Structure 1
Amino acid sequence: MGRRLVPLTLDNLKDLPQRCRACVFWELDPVSGEAAVRGGTAELEKESWISAVLLEWGSCGRVVYVDDAPVGFVLYAPPAYVPRSLAFPTSPVSGDAVQLITARILPGYQGQGLGRVIVQTVAKDLLRRGFRAVEAFGDARWEGPACLLPADHLLSVGFKTVRPHPVHPRMRLELRSTLSWKEDVELALDRLLGAVQKEPALRPL
């Protein structure tokens, strides 16, 4: 089984699931995001966002391929490029951290260690670029697939709560800790990255 992690570009954006290609939950502020969804321009807005981040900051994601089939992805960027993050009561993301925006492994490919490979690849990329940590806004009341990752799953793979909140705690993972992860975290990562499966309805926070 051959597997590759390839930087996300406009050329392989098409390999993300359709719902994710047209989801601008994080990439636009709440008002602009709702307008894009209503106006049918969300997919174009997503392309524009990826293009801008690539030009100004560099790689902001990875696409995972197994035997040339796209089976997962991860998106990350400094919070300055993630307008929705400002809408959370536990913002802002720390100055030395990058925001983990979203990630997914397709159900048929969970349990193969891909979650660990994804996170370690992101960690190496960000450490090389001078960042110390990755942060995410968890969902403490997670009930099903959405753009926010479940807080309890984030805790299970090593994130620590840095700003508590009953619904949306801000959580942090020190990047160097991920480089020594062993196989015992793979199941937890599969649960975490398998949780993000579809675009949620845009709703106020």
Structure 2
Amino acid sequence: MSVVIEPLTLDSVEKLPRHTRKCVFWEMDPGTADAANLLDPEFEKEAWLSMVLLEWGTCGQLATVGGRPAGSALYAPPRTVPRAASFPTSPVGSDAVLLTSIRLEPLATEFDMATDLVRAVVTDLVRRGVRAVEAFGIRRDGVSGPSRVTKTPCGDEYCMIDAGFLEEFGFELVAPHARYPRFRLELDRDHEWKTDVEAALDQLLQSAALEMITGDQTTSAALR
């Protein structure tokens, strides 16, 4: 069964995990969050994604297995995330992008989808010259890991990344808190992702160079 990790686009929003597609925990101002049930959360989420994609570019990575939704990771500049200013460990560093969620469907349990999603986020941001990724973690009971699909309404318990998961992936604690610690992953340092990211970037550069050579050869042939 084929596993695909690809940048999120407006055309692929419908492939997001069900909860992620309708969750507006991060995208709505906390002061109006109680009114979310009076709105169309799926419309609100798509409107937010459209705004960020058009103004900033790629803001998510989508995982599918055999064409079916398997997981996602969403990230954006803190200024575009209303919830980002509401935590006791705010604000996010001015040079960082905020990783808001990593969510997996039950379909992803047999694959190392969490690692693939984090690697895709890091690769994209390194390519774009971003210096760091930050995330607000949550400390709660239970096994650490990315959020799993649930029918429970949006809230910090279900829509935030477990602190232990962030620590496992090399994020450093920069703002301690009993409930909402803030973590940071420097992208201009040596860390466990660097080799994989550099290899991915090398492949992109090689592909681009090959396309240029092929294009030049085709043009030369046409001129003869």
TM-score for the superposition, normalised by structure 2: 0.74
Q: Taking structure 1 as reference, are residues 142 and 87 closer, same or farther at Cα in structure 2, changes over 3 Å only?
A: farther
1:12 partner SS: helix
Map 1:45-194 onto structure 2 (within 5 A). 45-142=44-141, 146-175=158-187, 177=191, 178-180=193-195
Instruction: Give the distance between the partners of 2:26 and 2:79, measured in 1 at CA.
Output: 11
Instruction: Give the distance between the partners of 2:64 and 2:19, measured in 1 at CA.
Output: 18
1:110 partner SS: helix
Aligned length in residues = 180
Relative to its length, the structure with more helix (as a share) is 2
Instruction: Give the distance between the partners of 2:19 and 2:64, measured in 1 at CA.
Output: 18
1:6 partner SS: strand
CA contact (8 A) 2:17 2:70 kept: no
- What is the identity, as a one-letter code, of the residue corresponding to 2:68? A
Per mean C-alpha deviation after superposition, the further-off stretch among 17-26 and 93-102 is: 17-26
RMSD value over aligned CA atoms?
Answer: 1.8
TM-score for the superposition, normalised by structure 1: 0.81
Percent identical among aligned pairs is: 47
- Structure 1 unaligned blocks of 5 or more: 182-205
Instruction: Give the distance between the partners of 2:7 and 2:107, measured in 1 at CA.
Output: 22
- Structure 2 unaligned blocks of 5 or more: 148-157, 197-224
Instruction: Give the distance between the partners of 2:141 and 2:135, measured in 1 at CA.
Output: 14
CA drift of 1:112 comes to 2.2
Q: Which has the higher contact order (CA 8 A, sep 6+)?
A: 1
Instruction: Give the distance between the partners of 1:39 and 1:47, measured in 2 at CA.
Output: 16
Instruction: Give the distance between the partners of 1:82 and 1:94, measured in 2 at CA.
Output: 13
2:23 partner SS: coil
Instruction: Give the distance between the partners of 2:54 and 2:110, measured in 1 at CA.
Output: 35
CA drift of 1:68 comes to 1.6
- What is the identity, as a one-letter code, of the residue corresponding to 2:84? S
Instruction: Give the distance between the partners of 1:104 and 1:21, measured in 2 at CA.
Output: 11
Q: Deviations over 1:92-138 (max 9, x none)?
A: 11122111110122233224232222111111110111112111111
